[in-house]
Amino acid sequence: MDVKVNILRYNPETDRKGHWEEYILEADPDERILDLLHKVKWFDDGSLAFRRSCAHGVCGSDAMVVNGENMLACQVLVKEVSTPIKIEPIRGLPVVKDLVVNMDSFFDSYKKVMPYLVNDAEPGERERLQSPEDRDRFEDTTKCILCAACTTSCPVFWTADTYVGPAAIVNAHRFVFDSRDNASKQRLEILKDVDGAFRCRTAFNCTSACPRGIQVTKAIEDVKRQTLTIN
Partner 1 sequence: MKVIKHSFDGVIVGAGGAGLRAAIEAAPHMKLAVITKLYPTRSHTGAAQGGMSAALANVEEDNWNWHAFDTVKGSDYLADQPAVDILCKEAIDSVVELEHWGLPFSRLENGKIAQRRFGGHTVKEGEAPAFRACYAADRTGHMILQTLYQKCVSMGVTFFDEFQVLDIKIDDGVCKGVIAYEIATGNIHIFEARAVTFATGGFGKIYKVSSNAHSLTGDGPGILYQKGIPLEDMEFYQFHPTGIYRLGILLSEAARGEGGILRNKDGERFMERYAPSIKDLAPRDMVSRAIATEISEGNGAGPNNDFVYLDLTHLGAETIKQKLPDITDFVRTYVKIEPINEPIPVQPTAHYAMGGIPTDVNARVLSDATGTVLPGVYSAGESACVSVHGANRLGTNSLLDIVVFGKRAGQSMVDYVSSTKPMALSENAAEDLTNKIENLMDKDHNLEFSVPRIREELQDTMEENAKIFRTEESLEKQTKILTDLRDRYQNVTISDKGKVFNTELLEAIELEYLLDMSDTTVASALHRKESRGAHSRVDHVERDDKNWLKHSFAFKNDASVKLEYKDVELGNYEPKERKY
209 binds, among ligand FES, partner 1, ligand SF4, none (CB under 5 to 8 A by kind): ligand SF4
Among the listed residues 78, 87, 113, 150, the single contact to ligand SF4 using CB under 6 A:
150
Reference 106, options 155, 168, 62, 57; nearest CA is: 168
Other CB atoms closer than 10 Å to residue 51's CB: what's the count?
16
Among the listed residues 66, 73, 216, 223, the single contact to ligand SF4 using CB under 6 A:
216
89 binds ligand FES (CB under 6 A): no
Reference 32, options 64, 163, 19; nearest CA is: 64
Span interacting with ligand FES, options 57-65, 88-96, 129-137, 150-158, rule CB under 6 A: 57-65
55 binds ligand FES (CB under 6 A): yes
108 binds partner 1 (CB under 8 A): no
210 binds ligand SF4 (CB under 6 A): yes
Q: Which is nearer to ligand FES, 74 or 169 (CB)?
A: 74
Distances (CA, A) of 20 to 3, 34, 85, 95, 123: 16, 18, 12, 15, 56
Range list of H helices, the chain: 33-43, 104-112, 132-136, 139-142, 155-159, 165-176, 184-192, 205-209, 216-227
Q: Which is nearer to partner 1, 16 or 201 (CB)?
A: 16
Min dist. Cβ of residue 147 to ligand FES (A): 7
Cβ neighbours for 142, distance < 8 A, ≥ 6 positions apart: 174
70 binds ligand FES (CB under 6 A): no
Min dist. Cβ of residue 59 to ligand SF4 (A): 11
Min dist. Cβ of residue 63 to ligand FES (A): 8
Span interacting with ligand FES, options 17-25, 49-57, 166-174, 182-190, rule CB under 6 A: 49-57
| Calpha distance 57→207 (Å, rounded) | 16
Reference 170, options 203, 198, 145, 189; nearest CA is: 145
| Calpha distance 185→230 (Å, rounded) | 7
Q: In what order do the strands lie in the sheet with 69-72?
A: 19-26, 2-9, 85-88, 63-66, 69-72
Span interacting with partner 1, options 86-94, 136-144, 150-158, 195-203, rule CB under 8 A: 136-144
Span interacting with partner 1, options 1-9, 44-52, 200-208, 222-230, rule CB under 8 A: 44-52
Min dist. Cβ of residue 216 to ligand SF4 (A): 5
**Exposed (0-12), middle (13-18) or buried (19+): which is 167, by Cβ within 10 Å?**
buried
Contact residues for ligand SF4 (CB under 6 A)? Answer: 144-150, 166-167, 170, 209-210, 212, 214, 216
